[in-house]
Structure 1
């Protein structure tokens, strides 16, 4: 893993920064979508929640996005001979199992009850889908740093990243609507 060592020496913070920024964009977009779905949900209070969202984005980036990118990098090197972008969508559902299992376990321990299995499936799918754009952008930051290029992600995140995120959210929304329609 000499490539990883070179990356860590050149740009030790860029992967975390990019993952946090991408996760923050996803959280803000989710907040906007939530406000559109539930009108009158107190959108004026959203301004006061932005610092909390940034802190949550940093925690989620460290707990979910960076492990997804690292596991995809490792899996690509181990099984594919080289790291490819498509390892991120393969690995994201595996990483998403951990938080969904933790939520289900916490719900069961606190209330003694669990939700319907389709609810956990829906949460798992949503988490997996939301991990993909941030992990892909973090992967791009690593590759840029390893190649010796500066990590300038503003255009990538605001351009391609947001467009990709909107497309993924539309697909996730369609899947959610289908799951709700097929419900129990």
Structure 2
């Protein structure tokens, strides 16, 4: 009878380990997919496969570490180390996705008028803004020069009465941003910034 109870406990523990393993694997895969989906360079970029390879490799590393931590009969030290690796991969998911995004965004970091106005990469414009502002010193530029450089945006008047031109950047939806150029009555750009739509 005691042997049956011991075997039953082992089976229950094993089944619980399998449930925990499946839950954590699905959780981690969803976590990576959630953050990876909202990075434009990984979702839409020409080199998105690099980002996908990075994210899949990290996910597989997590699954293997978790499997060793839960199922491999090994010393307590090895179990602790593999558990720490799993915890580190959970904690580092955002920096890892950020790194993958930066790698995939490299081709879009140099501004060009053609690249900015390309309808297939218009959701990757946010990566060009630092280069655009550094090369062309947008603040102080006349509106006509801005239009010839990046096209005509959407004219708006903000709640404080200032005049703005906005350009859509990034994915539409929750994470959508706009690039805003404020200008004075003489048509000179006085301020630039990005804001959520």
TM bin, normalised by shorter chain, reads 0.3 to 0.5
Of the two, which has the highest radius of gyration?
Answer: 2
By percentage of residues, which structure has more strand?
A: 2
By percentage of residues, which structure has more helix?
A: 1
Q: Higher relative contact order at CA 8 Å, sep ≥6: structure 1 or structure 2?
A: 1
Q: Taking structure 1 as the reference length, what is the TM-score of the superposition?
A: 0.36
